[in-house]
Amino acid sequence: MNMNGNKPIGIFDTGIGGLTTVTELQKLLPGEDIIYFGDSARNPYGNRPASEIVEMTCQMLDFLKGNDVKTVGVACNTISTLIDRYAPKYDFTIVGVVTPVCEMIAKMDLPVVGVIATVATIENGTYQSIITRHSPNTRVLGEGAPILANLIDRGDFSQEPLDAEIRKHMDHMLADGPIGHVILGCTHYPIVQENFERLYPSIEFINPAYEQALALRDMLTAQNGLNDRKDGGKFTVCTSGDPKVYADVCKRLGCKTPTELRVVNL
């Protein structure tokens, strides 16, 4: 299958978290145009029923479809766990953030791995089922954090409240025994990965955004859909929330300054 490589890549999330995927994608494919949508006005999604999450997801996908994207990366773990419910409705390839990192973890054949994520992601059980399907001997410990993503999405990175919330959930997960590797199973969490690493220096924290970016690159390569440019791709950020937070997080993550930054209400 061939696609038009000159079209943009769409990336979306419930808020600023998916900018972690954009950062990795820009390193791998600097010539690609990227249009991003972050639904901060309706965040958090992770505490909502699945049917409502799917409905809101389709609204974001319809927006990206209207912007003529060639493919879409779902840079949200909660939404990615429901991908089978909405992906068949669209004629472009949709790449989630969960499966690529689960397949990478399974190859490591770890005795135990932790996943800290939203409540919906953990209760859904997708991380647990994919990892153990590929690596039956790996024990997967999940910890749902109801408000951590929302704290981060506000763009206030004050150390004390974030550290307190991280400690609460990490300590609860570690009560089951020592863990050497923990997946940051919400794309918001790598924005404050330094907090996790400072508080738990003996644990290796895994950012799924890199594996998702690799999966998008490999899919575009297979479908002859890469942009020929070597650099200079446009980066458009659309959000239903405060655009300043997005500009600030782009600087924090080291991704390109958005070419365009605008408010869009779905």
Indicate which residues carry an active-site annotation: 76, 186
Please write down the HEC assignment for all residues of 201-237.
Answer: CCCEEECHHHHHHHHHHHHHHHCCCCCCCCCCCCEEE
CB 72 within 8 A of CB 92: yes
Residues contacting 96, CB < 8 A, separation 6+: 74, 79, 80, 81, 83, 212
Q: 118: number of CA atoms within 13 Å, CB side?
A: 27
Secondary structure element (H or E) that encloses residue 161, with its range: helix 159-174
Amino acid at 150: N
Beta bridge partners of 230: none
